[in-house]
Amino acid sequence: MSFFRSLFFQIIVAVIIGIGVGMLWPGFGAMLQPLGTGFIKLIKMLIAPLIFLVVVAGIAKAGDLKAVGRIGLKAIIWFEIATTVALVLGLAAAKWMRPGEGMNIDASTLDPNAVDAKTNGAELPHTVDFILNIIPTSAVDAFAQNALLQVLLLACLFGTALAASDSVLKHNVLTLVDQIMELVFRVIGYIMKLAPIGAFGAIAYTVGAYGASTLTSYGMLIVACYVSALVFLVCLGLVAWWLTGMNMLQFIRYTRSEIMLAIGTASSEVVMPRMMDKLTRAGCNRAVVGLVVPTGYSFNLDGASIYLSLATVFLAQAVGIELTLTQEITILAVLMLSSKGMAGVPGSAFLALSATAAALNAFPVAVVALLLGADRFMDTMRVFTNLMGNCVAAFVVARWEGMLDTDRMKAVLSGEISADEPARDTEKKIHPDPLSPAGEMAVAAYPHTVLPEPRPGSI
């Protein structure tokens, strides 16, 4: 009976009912969009303060600012590797499966303003603008705009200042931060009770507004995207197992409720708070999770990268153009840059595709409008792949820094122990030296840990 009362089961039922409503009564299904949008807004209103609290607590408890810098650098390196592999894989899949071949689209018949209507006149920021936009106009504005990178910058500065403060001030502020964080997670728990309603409304709207006929019109493109994502996830799972010992299938089972909610609402941000909490409970240090996961939402969009490179080649094939090797390299170079500024920009995928088409100068930008109908059906692939990519990144970076409790990770993911059970004997699993950066961060993540006495001469 506990399974039928679980959030996972409730979301599954809600998604099935939503699909049925969207197919049987498409007009009514399209009217249910506010249910999904409202739920997503409820979760998003807490993401910025939660990230701020998690990162501040992680850095202040760690006390080692060099370790924080290493975490950020290693995360960026991993993001660039993963994103490049995703882009190349999407390009290769398009050349192999040729989803646009035979469509013979006349570009002159397409509405050049259709993409502008989808993006509401928004633009992707240039590289310099993107970097400068990480600095908020004011501290209040960063939270008001829900700009995650800006909030992350503020949190790093605040956590650094707190780490350098005297012990009394540090203790008092950290106690307050921990208590507020507990309240935020409790509020998220209340909101999550509405998750089945949000998933129902979102999926009913998608099916009702876009219709199942799109699946037949763009079937080959959709199949190519999902096959590419599957290959990428298998490779990602193998790399994760090799580097950290993490079993991807066990992790998917462990986070199945969050995954279904993300798929149902077509948003990975909606499960960010729950995913961060579950990663921490599965042995990842809280400071690593707080730095890697929010940054990954801007820099590590693996699913979007697969889709963008594949879709660009699809558009060329649809209008009967065979791309040269130089043009394919151009696609990778342009998307490598444009994909970094996608987070939070309306219609960002269409903007990135338009920028790539303009750089190629091989087919009119108006051809991007071909994807208006099929784009929504790529959300499941993009959301799931983006989500798994960022979670694996947290495990890998934590492992590189010696801040991953691998025994606890394996026990939690396999179901041997509950994720709520406190970690024990972590001194054997993270770092033997309590005076080392990793040792200090281990104590921060697991305050009940008893570390061994310092080595002779280490003081």
DSSP secondary structure of 377-423: GGHHHHHHHHHHHHHHHHHHHHHHTT-B-HHHHHHHHHTSS-TTSPP
Domain that holds residue 400: 65-164+217-445
Determine, yes or no, domain membership for 56: no
The 3-state secondary structure of 332-343, one letter per residue:
HHHHHHHHHHCC
Coil vs helix vs strand at 147: coil
Q: Is residue 457 in a domain? A: no
Rounded-to-integer distance, Cα 102 and Cα 333, Å: 27
- 192 is a domain residue: no
Is the sign of the CA dihedral 109, 364, 383, 348 positive or negative? negative
Q: Is residue 267 part of a domain?
A: yes
Backbone φ and ψ of 49, nearest 5°: -65, -35
| Cβ within 8 Å of residue 159, ≥6 positions away | 55, 56, 57, 58, 59, 60, 68
pLDDT at site 147: 80
Token pair listed for 240: 């994760």
Task: State how far the Cα of 3 lies from the Cα of 237, in Å rounded to an integer.
Answer: 27
Q: Is 34 part of any domain?
A: no
Kindly state whether residue 382 falls inside one of the protein's structural domains.
Answer: yes
- CATH of residue 264's domain is 1.10.3860.10
Tell whether pTM > 0.85: no
Asked if residues 136 and 150 have their Cβ atoms less than 8 Å apart, the reply is yes
In angstroms, what CA-CA distances link 15 with 42, 53, 186, 385? 19, 33, 25, 19
Q: What is the pLDDT of residue 452?
A: 39
Q: Looking at the 3D structure of the chain, how many domains does it have?
A: 1
Nearest to 339 by CA among 83, 60, 8: 83
| Tokens encoding 423 | 């970690």
Residue 454 covered by a domain = no
Contact status, residue 43 vs residue 188, Cβ threshold 8 Å: yes
Task: Determine the distance from the C-alpha atom of residue 323 to the mean position of all C-alpha atoms in its chain, rounded to a whole number.
Answer: 31
Is the pLDDT score of 274 beyond 60? yes
Percent of the chain with pLDDT over 70: 79
The residue whose two tokens read 């040792």 is 439
Q: What is the pLDDT of residues 70-97, one digit of tens each?
A: 888 899 899 999 999 999 999 999 999 8
Q: What is the pLDDT of residues 99-150, one digit of tens each?
A: 877 766 666 666 555 555 555 555 555 667 667 778 888 888 888 887 888 8
Tokens describing residue 67 = 């370790």
More confident residue, 22 or 418: 22
Put residue 120 in one of left, alpha, beta given phi > 0 → left and psi -120 to 50 → alpha.
Answer: left
197 assigned to some structural domain: no
